[in-house]
């Protein structure tokens, strides 16, 4: 992650090694790779960086927002995978790559073109990687969440707290980050010969991308 304060708190709680990293920066990725290699390598890479910016229709699309989304969701994920594949291929029991994408990469919606495009590209990359890496003993998993209520996603996308809160108005029990973390944990810890190619997860209230049950 990018924020040292949160990483330091997590490291104190878990014993993890905290390395603040911007995955869009080549030097930062190489530094992270070196630290991991020196610590003994890795058998699993979980790519959860990304996000959305803006909800403009294409007619008012902001180039800066699209550039940020493509770098954060697609190019950054590519850089991490490219850097860590040699370590993952070297694992005797086999390596794992898990990419957190989104149902936005499956179904487009008005005002979401930039995020739809970025997540669809990340999804396509994930599927290609699975084909390329099976012969190297690296399994590739994709988790595609629907509506997840977190403290930042909608706020970062829409720019103000009122607009962000309205996204979840009336939605009974949207998914939480803990729900998604539990699914990721399960997917990467089942026996290595089990490959959960694609896991689509939505809250019960979101029957489909176009149907969300909202109670008043």
Q: Bin 81: left if φ > 0, else alpha if -120 < ψ < 50, else beta.
A: alpha
Instruction: Name the DSSP class of 74.
Output: I
Cα gap 63→68, rounded to integer Å: 9
Check 70, 109, 115, 168 and give the catalytic one.
115
Q: How many CA atoms lie within 13 A of 172 on its CB side?
A: 7
Q: How many CA atoms lie within 13 A of 82 on its CB side?
A: 12
168: annotated active-site residue: no
Contacts of 20 (CB under 8 A, 6+ apart): 1, 2, 3, 4, 7
Residues annotated as catalytic are 115
């Amino acid at each position: 992650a990018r924020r040292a304060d949160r990483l330091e708190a997590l490291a104190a709680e878990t014993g993890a090694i905290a390395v603040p990293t911007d995955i869009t920066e080549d030097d930062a990725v190489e530094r992270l790779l070196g630290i991991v290699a020196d610590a003994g390598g890795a058998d699993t890479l979980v790519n959860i960086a990304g996000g959305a910016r803006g909800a403009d229709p294409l007619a008012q699309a902001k180039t800066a927002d699209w550039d940020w989304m493509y770098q954060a969701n697609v190019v950054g994920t590519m850089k991490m995978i490219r850097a860590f594949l040699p370590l993952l291929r070297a694992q005797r029991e086999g390596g794992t790559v898990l990419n957190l994408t989104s149902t936005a990469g499956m179904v487009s919606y008005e005002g979401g073109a930039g995020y739809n495009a970025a997540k669809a590209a990340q999804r396509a990359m994930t599927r290609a990687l699975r084909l390329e890496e099976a012969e190297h003993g690296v399994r590739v998993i994709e988790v595609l969440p629907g509506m997840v209520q977190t403290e930042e996603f909608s706020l970062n996308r829409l720019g103000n707290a009122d607009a962000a809160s309205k996204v979840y108005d009336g939605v009974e029990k949207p998914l939480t980050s803990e729900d998604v973390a539990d699914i990721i944990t399960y997917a990467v810890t089942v026996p290595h010969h089990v490959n959960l190619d694609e896991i689509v997860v939505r809250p019960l209230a979101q029957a489909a991308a176009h149907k969300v049950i909202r109670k008043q």
